[in-house]
Chain A
């Protein structure tokens, strides 16, 4: 079994769509946080929105014109990743799609209920209903791109994007599929915006991010961004710190690396102390895309992974998102992406430079 390599990326973010826009925005420190326009009740609040996109230009199929935002974001990100990886059509035969999301199509769910309450049972919309179901974005995506392999939707908080990668990696290694698209998506919604703002979690944002993951032996005509050298996820409800430490150890062991081999950690700034303790150093550079994009839960984790792939590929560590840059080595070979949830779940992904 060869390495699992990342051959395509598809960022759809408040700071840009596609790898060029996204990367340029990061290099220029462009922030996507501005006054919210999509949620009238929160027009004085700040967040990261996906701007107006001519969806039909990218997905001309009429069947998807009325799908929920989350489905559109998912399909666009997947298209970007597929175009980027440029696989031949025959290699899509044994492809899987793993979607990870935190909230789902809340806007359609809300519209559905509004109709039900105000107009009654006979007026409810089948479109709002079927697009509200949690796996709707995955279903639409498989139909849109003709993917017949396993198409799964995983639900969870910030760590779910890493669990989706873990699932895809396990399926490829088990021979169930040859390659996989892993995508994370979410949309802004009044209910969730209200709840999380009250909990102090802001600025919130929306969008999607997709990866194309395959075995190095099957890739054709592309040089990968990097390879997935280590990945682990652990749960320890009574001791998050221990779960975090264990995932770091496991992923380093899998990558055959020492803590000193890690050049950069992508994680929420609030995790810096825990990272320092686990890696036995307070000097490791730490970065996060959230300062520019806002937080879109599992999607932000996926964006951090995409940024890491770009940093490894281009060899540039953007000052806009990384602290302690002076500690960075000349060449960035290994980036660890860390994420935790307060229920005691920790996940770690290590991306490494492809030889």
Chain B
């Protein structure tokens, strides 16, 4: 019989109740707490403000150097997940980390301050895979260590890659996560694409006008069912399927019919051996941009047919903003929490229905709903599309 993979630990730091634990986070999210506000970017000397969801480090009891934010968040979320799973030392444990920008913040700061090569000092932290190397080294990770970068699908792919490592027998356990923090590079870049909204983030709404930035770090502990059962671990849910497919269409724009995402959903369900009407909840990529939300709606309908109209879909980015590499993992955790609490978080700021986006987006108010199977979707630059399926064990 094929080995199964379970989720036995979760941990994350997001802009919503960042240091108050998972219950506080979930309650606030399901209450539709909106923490997105206009702010200046972290380092840029510019008067313009953009909508962002930021993690305020002053909320943390001990002082943290803002320059070490990424490393701080990643270690907090990593240890939260590891401690939640009560991992034991005798397992082969690996790490799979998804990130869009890696540790470019360090390099960016140097560039911003115009400390160019003439100053000639080398910062090890500038290495793009530094976070993974650091965690591997500090926490004595003895299994595979991988950094995955597939744009905004990075976190989702990090989980998929990790699960496959366990299924291939390369590790008993994998800690899979994603991280990215607010950076001037990303903010100004998306500004150049006119992808940032000037008002509320309204995924799937007729008047949606773009995304807002977020940040965070999130990890899940994936473990073979054999190991999890043997050590009587708490099981949040079972990993049932994963697929990643490319649009091969455009570097920054999604395929208008959602070809790649539909294909990824179909393949993930095939792997999970599930039919469309067995899905109880979809956590959408739902950025709030005109093109993404339309494409995503078409992809869901194409892959799931008529069943798509009966499945509750929500975009938690309406509250958390888009945290890039962390987004896929945060949203996977939201799927697991939905399964465990029987509550689906809402899509907030939803005012007017778009005739082209005609599915059930759980507008504004959370919903009580039994979730046995949940689907988490991600898409990103480069034509990346990924789908994860989780289920009750």
Which A residues form the contact surface with B (CB < 8 A)? Answer: 41, 97, 102-104, 109-110, 112-114, 116-117, 120-121, 124-126, 129-136, 138-140, 142-143, 145-157, 160, 163, 167, 170-171, 173-174, 176, 190-191, 193-196, 198-199, 233-238, 341, 343-345
Q: Which of B127-172 contact A (CB under 8 A)?
A: 127-129, 132-133, 136-137, 140-151, 157, 161, 164-165, 167-168, 170
Q: How far is the CB of B131 from chain A (nearest CB, A)?
A: 10
Residues of A within 8 A of B249 (CB): 143
B1 close to A (CB within 8 Å): no
For this complex, 25 residue pairs linking A to B, each with C-beta atoms less than 8 Å apart, are A109-B107, A113-B108, A113-B112, A117-B111, A124-B188, A124-B189, A129-B193, A132-B189, A133-B381, A139-B251, A143-B251, A146-B248, A148-B263, A151-B244, A152-B244, A154-B146, A154-B147, A154-B149, A163-B144, A190-B116, A195-B123, A199-B122, A234-B142, A235-B141, A236-B142
**Cross-interface CB contact of B117 among A147, A173, A194, cutoff 8 Å:** A194
Interface size class of B (residues with CB under 8 A): 35 or more
B228 close to A (CB within 8 Å): no
The reply to whether B100 and A170 form a contact with Cβ atoms under 8 Å apart is no
Residues of A within 8 A of B259 (CB): 148
Q: In the complex, A238→B380 CA distance in Å? A: 37
Known: A41-B117, A152-B157, A160-B129. A134 touches B248 (CB 8 A): no
Interface contacts (Cβ under 8 Å), in number, total 205
The reply to whether A198 and B120 form a contact with Cβ atoms under 8 Å apart is yes
**Cross-interface CB contact of A238 among B127, B140, B168, cutoff 8 Å:** B140
Residues of A within 8 A of B244 (CB): 150-152
Known: A117-B112, A148-B260. A344 touches B100 (CB 8 A): no
Q: How far is the CB of B302 from chain A (nearest CB, A)?
A: 14
The reply to whether B133 and A129 form a contact with Cβ atoms under 8 Å apart is no
Which B residues form the contact surface with A (CB < 8 A)? Answer: 44, 46, 48, 94, 99-102, 104, 107-108, 111-112, 114, 116-118, 120-123, 126-129, 132-133, 136-137, 140-151, 157, 161, 164-165, 167-168, 170, 184-185, 188-189, 191-193, 243-252, 259-260, 263, 267, 380-384
Residues of A within 8 A of B250 (CB): 143
The reply to whether A155 and B128 form a contact with Cβ atoms under 8 Å apart is yes
Residues of A within 8 A of B168 (CB): 170, 173-174
B47 to A, closest residue via Cβ: A121
Extra contacts besides A125-B192, A174-B167 (19): CB < 8 Å: A110-B111, A130-B381, A133-B100, A133-B101, A134-B100, A135-B151, A136-B251, A142-B382, A149-B245, A150-B243, A151-B383, A155-B129, A157-B127, A163-B146, A170-B164, A173-B168, A176-B243, A176-B267, A195-B121
Q: How far is the CB of A210 from chain B (nearest CB, A)?
A: 17
The reply to whether A143 and B145 form a contact with Cβ atoms under 8 Å apart is no
* Closest 7 pairs between A and B when the two form their complex, measured CB to CB: A139-B382, A129-B189, A195-B122, A194-B117, A134-B149, A113-B111, A155-B147
Known: A126-B189, A156-B147, A238-B140. A121 touches B48 (CB 8 A): yes
